[in-house]
Amino acid sequence: MTIKIFTTGGTFDKVYFDALSEFKIGEPMVDALLAEANVNFGYEVESLLKKDSLEMGDQDREAIRQAVASAPQSMILITHGTDTMVDSARALQGIGGKTIVMFGAMQPARMRYSDAMFNLGVACAAVQTLPAGIYIAMNGQIFDALKVTKNRAQSRFEPIAPSPK
């Protein structure tokens, strides 16, 4: 079993850039975090993008889609910025036979108080246990990627309430 992990940037991989406390996307943190956690499963990390998700466009989403579709692995993790994670999940619709779990962080993984490691752990468990489909692992929950929204005011993801009939 090998899990394919695609990194795209986002807050998960941000680092302080200068004295003005501005951030930029750094090298992917997933490999270091998995090594620290002493995981006992095979994985491959591939960096696709180093962008804030607000800077992603259709071409970026198509590149993610092509990489996921062409990967021989059936278990796929994707680090992604939280602001447009759902948009990228929609772009992955129609890829069959794969369990795809997207996750990110509200605080950079390099910071002491970050949700990055926790979200990575939840995503790793989810990709190994869920049936084929597209999911988001954030805030200790697994969401159907097409039925979730980011609540910016609360800094969390929440399921979209079904419409009353």
Structure confidence at residue 92 as a pLDDT band (50, 70, 90) = very high
Examine residue 63 and state whether it is found in any structural domain, yes or no. yes
What rounded mean pLDDT belongs to the chain?
A: 88
Range with lowest mean pLDDT among 11-15, 122-126, 132-136: 11-15
CATH of the domain at 127: 3.40.50.1170
At 16-59, the pLDDT tens digits run: 655 555 666 777 888 888 998 999 999 999 999 888 777 889 99
Distance CA 8, CA 104 (A): 10
**Closest C-alpha to 142, from 108, 110, 99:** 99
Domain contains 87: yes
What residues have CB less than 8 Å from 134, skipping those under 6 apart? 89, 92, 93, 95, 100, 102, 144, 145, 146
Question: Does residue 84 fall inside a structural domain?
Answer: yes
Q: What does the pLDDT read at residue 16? A: 60
| 115 assigned to some structural domain | yes
The pLDDT, as a whole number, for residue 134 is 97
Q: What is the pLDDT of residue 20?
A: 59
The residue range of the domain holding 48 is: 2-159
* Domains: count for the chain: 1
* Nearby residues of 1 by Cβ (< 8 Å), 6 or more positions away: 41, 42, 75, 128
Quick one: pLDDT at residue 17?
59
Q: Which tokens is 91 given? A: 């772009």
3-state SS, residue 11:
helix
SS3 61: helix
pLDDT at 112 over 60: yes
Q: Is residue 165 included in any domain, yes or no?
A: no
The model carries a pTM of: 0.89
| pLDDT at residue 147, as a whole number | 93
Confidence (pLDDT) at 70: 97
pLDDT, residue 32, reads 86
Q: Is residue 108 part of a domain?
A: yes
The closest of 106, 119, 152, 112 to 30, measured between CA atoms, is 119
- The share of the chain scoring above pLDDT 90, in percent, equals 53
